[in-house]
């Protein structure tokens, strides 16, 4: 099937710094994208989403950027906190299909004090 | 109230056994899913049900049989368990349409020995 991302990289940032997590997707037909956060021992939790007719969307301390030309998503976390430590996944789907989300392999974010 | 709940949280069993994982959602969603997360954190969809009907089966061995008695429940039965079935299994639910995010349960860590 389609794959999103290749490895599980680790990003280490200091508390208070901004974090940028990147994701490459391969299905150019995908038109809806979601970022999930997965803390240890828990299920993935919705953070923010974006549709393909947008290139930027902001939430509370988080911003998602979408570049359809190069099939790239990024998640920016402002003023990273220890509670942000988790594995972050991007996911893609095509609106109108059977709601099938294809996940990337994730990025582990480690926040150091 | 837990939105998507699955039981048990941990399951340790011997090869060759048959086991079931139960899932219930109280969000009123039409669509429910089973995802498998391997040791490298890769999340892959296994099944998707919409209003009790199977709509996605991602080439999962037929030892895995989902059952949906009603749209709020999607259970996963696994026959003749193998070592390679060891993983974390996540149940999720989502609204209709391809633009609704999936809400995940806490996961069931299955260990086959």
Q: Does A10 touch chain B (CB under 8 A)?
A: no
pLDDT tens digits for B93-112?
A: 986 555 567 899 999 999 99
Cβ–Cβ gap A32/B56 under 8 Å: no
**Sequence-distant (≥ 6) Cβ neighbours of residue A23 within 8 angstroms:** A4, A5, A72, A73, A74, A75, A90, A104, A107
**Considering only alpha carbons, which residue of chain A is nearest residue B90?**
A43
Smallest Cα distance from A17 to chain B, Å: 26
Q: Output the six-digit token pair for B103.
A: 């809400």
Compute chain B's Rg from CA coordinates. Answer: 13
Q: Do the chains contact at A44 and B90, CB–CB below 8 Å?
A: yes
Tell if the CB–CB gap between A105 and B41 is shorter than 8 Å. Answer: yes
B57, pLDDT greater than 90: no
> Average pLDDT of chain A?
90
The per-residue pLDDT for A1 is 32
Q: Would the pLDDT of A19 be above 80? A: yes
pLDDT tens figures, A61-80: 999 999 999 999 999 999 99
A22 touches chain B (CB under 8 A): no
CB contact under 8 A, A99 and B90: no
Split at pLDDT 50, 70, 90, the class of A2 is very low
Residues B22-46 have pLDDT tens digits of 999 999 888 899 999 998 899 999 9
Phi, psi of B22 (to 5 degrees): -105, 150
B103 CB neighbours in chain A (<8 A) are 46
């Amino acid at each position: 099937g389609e794959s999103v991302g290749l490895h599980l990289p680790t990003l280490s940032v200091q508390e208070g710094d901004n974090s940028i997590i990147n994701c490459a997707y391969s299905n150019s037909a995908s038109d809806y994208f979601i970022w999930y956060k997965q803390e240890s021992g828990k299920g993935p939790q919705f953070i923010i989403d974006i549709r393909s007719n947008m290139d930027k969307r902001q939430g509370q301390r988080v911003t998602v950027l979408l570049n359809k030309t190069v099939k790239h998503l990024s998640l920016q976390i402002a003023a990273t906190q220890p509670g942000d430590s988790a594995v972050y996944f991007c996911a893609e789907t095509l609106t109108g299909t059977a709601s099938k989300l294809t996940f990337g392999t994730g990025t582990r974010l480690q926040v150091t004090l | 109230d837990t939105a998507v709940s699955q039981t048990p949280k941990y399951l340790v069993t011997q090869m060759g056994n048959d086991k079931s994982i139960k899932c219930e959602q109280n969000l009123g969603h039409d669509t429910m899913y089973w995802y498998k997360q391997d040791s490298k954190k890769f999340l892959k969809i296994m099944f998707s049900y919409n209003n009790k009907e199977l709509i996605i089966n991602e080439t999962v061995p037929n030892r895995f049989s989902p059952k949906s008695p009603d749209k709020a429940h999607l259970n996963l039965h696994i026959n003749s368990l193998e070592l390679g079935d060891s993983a974390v299994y996540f149940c999720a639910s989502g609204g209709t349409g391809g633009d609704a995010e999936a809400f995940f349960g806490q996961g069931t860590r299955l260990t086959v020995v």
